[in-house]
Amino acid sequence: MSAALQASRPKGSSVENKTVGERKYLIGGNWKSNGSYDENAERVNVFNGAGAIPDNVEVVLCVPYLHIPLCLTSLRDDIEVGAQNCGNNVKDGAFTGEVGAHMLKDIGCTWVIIGHSERREGFGMVGETEALCAEKCKVALDKGLKVMFAIGEKKEERESGVTMEVCAKQLEPLAKLLGEAEWANVAIAYEPVWAIGTGLTATPEMAQDTHADIRKWVKENVSEAVAKAVRIQYGGSMKGANAVDLLKQPDIDGGLIGGASLKADFFNVINGVPK
């Protein structure tokens, strides 16, 4: 099914970037629950004409379930297509309203976001626990998807000085479930909750400090090799105007982009990687 869907995708284009870091940058777009079919088709057209992508950047768009086929048939083929969530069910069955990771893989998705703060917190419903987020990540990996695993603290937690304690609590169940080799298909998306969709952004120095702390935690609780290889994205109101300063930090390996991924500005973020 996925090959048939994607046969019509237009070719993308890349440009050499001579700046080579330890890790390939990962720029993910999260369209959240936005866009009619026609509006998102127009976004696809804008991105298809947005020019070359640096060859040291991996780009993924995580779109609403209904618009995954649209992107898999018409989005340029150098932008991967992912989902924003999946169920913890490992196969078909009586799971009303859920979309399984095996279904996403079958249709052609390569990535899924797990643990976004909006899902952890809930929006008029019970939020997802740390244990459930870890379980979903494990299921997605087992079904062949790659995962952007989102973590992050609230404003009052940042002000209380417990940012890393919060992030560690969110990572601990995952570290217990995954073998070392499985981390090759996981990116950690650090998203300070107070900066998501608010226009507020951690300073590059604040973001770097937290990313370095997360990498240290992975070194101490998973392995040194995983800590060196794992990509840690920043996801708090990153946009073209601040991407350059954020992405030049040594432990910031990309971004998980919300509002800016709905606009042509998404490519300003992509092109904001060090050159």
Q: Active site includes 191?
A: yes
CB 5 within 8 A of CB 71: no
Secondary structure E strands in 72-183:
80-83, 111-114, 146-151
User: What Cα–Cα distance (Å) separates residue 90 from each residue in 84, 98, 143?
Assistant: 17, 11, 8
Torsional class of 57: left (φ above 0), alpha (ψ -120 to 50), beta (otherwise): beta
Burial (CB count <10 Å: 0-12, 13-18, 19+), residue 171? buried
| CA atoms in the 13 A half-sphere facing the CB of 243 | 27
Rounded to 10°, the helix 240-247/204-221 angle is 50
Residues 231/23, Cβ–Cβ less than 8 Å: yes
Token pair 């940058």: residue: 25
CA-to-CA distance for 208 and 89, rounded, in angstroms?
A: 36
Active-site choice (118, 128, 157, 191): 191
Per annotation, catalytic residue among 102, 116, 118, 153: 116
| 116 part of the active site | yes
Nearest to 171 by CA among 147, 198, 196: 147
Can you read off the two tokens belonging to residue 259? 């509002």
For 226, residues 6+ apart whose C-beta sits below 8 A from its C-beta are 180, 183, 218, 219
Active-site annotation, residues = 116, 191
